[in-house]
Amino acid sequence: MASIKAKSFRLALLQLGSLTSSKTNNIAVAKKAVVEAINSTPKPHLIVLPEIWNSPYAVNAFREYSEKIPQVGTKWGQLNEGEEGETVKAMREMARDNQVWLIGGSIPQKDEKADEIFNTCTVYDPEGTLVAIHQKVHLFDIDIPGRQTFKESDTLTGGKSLTTFDTPFGKIGLGICYDIRFPEMATIAARQGCVAMIYPAAFNTTTGPMHWTLLQRARAVDNQIYVAMCSPARHPEASYQAYGHSLVVNPLGDVLVEASHEPTTIYADIDVEMLNTTRKNLPITIQRRFDVYPDVAEKFL
């Protein structure tokens, strides 16, 4: 597990602004930001959108904005009209038209059979094939009186599995926002050989200043991987004030790049040699004492 065979790559986090209650507007905003990122130099290999970017981040909106998501492996043009939601179709186009890997943030997903709604991240390869689906495992149910109360479980169901996906530049692990507070997910992904954990996210103006940077640095240092979180920009009229501050941290825990709360795109180079050097110099990945405590990744390896 010490060193990882992968290629270095460039990551772009799209901290989308001007998101409204119009899904059509939000799709147009995302499409434009993807095109702008792809025209930057050097070109990013992997583009990330934020959590719940096509809908308001509000428990009473998730059902109305929810969409059908097809199975992993469905290719561009394989489905008939109506077999997948309009946001999913748009994300396929963003990936295919720009020949780029896309982590499509998250959108509310409708599971008609079970009558359930999930907070779901989809990933597309440069051909527009849906290659991974992650349903937010840990629902954001918190109550900090007078400051921040939110109960995703009022309308959402939690996912039941962990998600990684392979790219030509290495294996990537996925989580969504609150998932980062549960360290096992990142540890399992790292033990499976991921170079990075990427979380579409939307912390708020209470929990953001407390824990946003700390959690990412902790997950990075504990697991000697890259960690990134992509947030929407703050929106003064929204019922939920996103923290912004999209961020990328390296395996030493250094913040490589951080946005403010304004709409912007940030870029970072994921340097696999740096990851391997960190693991060689501080060899914690081969010093674990599984004779003293269990390996949380074991049943997933």
Residues engaged in binding ligand LQR7VSFR (CB under 6 A): 140, 177-178, 181, 202-204, 207
CB closer to ligand LQR7VSFR, 31 vs 138: 138
Q: Token digits for 2?
A: 């010490």
Cα three-residue angle 282-284-286, rounded to 5 degrees: 115
Nearest distance in Å: CB 101, ligand LQR7VSFR: 24
Nearest distance in Å: CB 4, ligand LQR7VSFR: 28
Distance CA 212, CA 220 (A): 13
Phi, psi of 23 (to 5 degrees): -60, -40
Nearest distance in Å: CB 178, ligand LQR7VSFR: 3
CB atoms closer than 10 angstroms to residue 42: 8
CB closer to ligand LQR7VSFR, 202 vs 233: 202
Q: Is residue 186 within a helix (H) or strand (E), and if so which, with residue range? A: helix 183-191
Q: Which residues are catalytic?
A: 51, 136, 177
CB atoms closer than 10 angstroms to residue 283: 11
CB closer to ligand LQR7VSFR, 7 vs 151: 151
Nearest distance in Å: CB 235, ligand LQR7VSFR: 15
3-state DSSP assignment of residue 233? coil
CB atoms closer than 10 angstroms to residue 220: 27
Nearest distance in Å: CB 119, ligand LQR7VSFR: 8
- Classify residue 146 as left (phi > 0), alpha (psi -120 to 50) or beta: left
CB closer to ligand LQR7VSFR, 66 vs 224: 66
Q: State the DSSP string of 128-183.
A: --EEEEEE-SS--EEEETTTEEEEGGGT-------EEEEETTEEEEE--GGGGGSH
CB closer to ligand LQR7VSFR, 55 vs 167: 55
Q: What does the radius of gyration of the chain's CA atoms come to, in whole angstroms?
A: 18
Check whether the bond before 42 is cis (ω within 30° of 0): yes
Nearest distance in Å: CB 202, ligand LQR7VSFR: 5
For ligand LQR7VSFR, the nearest residue by Cβ is 207
CB closer to ligand LQR7VSFR, 204 vs 276: 204
Contacts of 154 (CB under 8 A, 6+ apart): 59
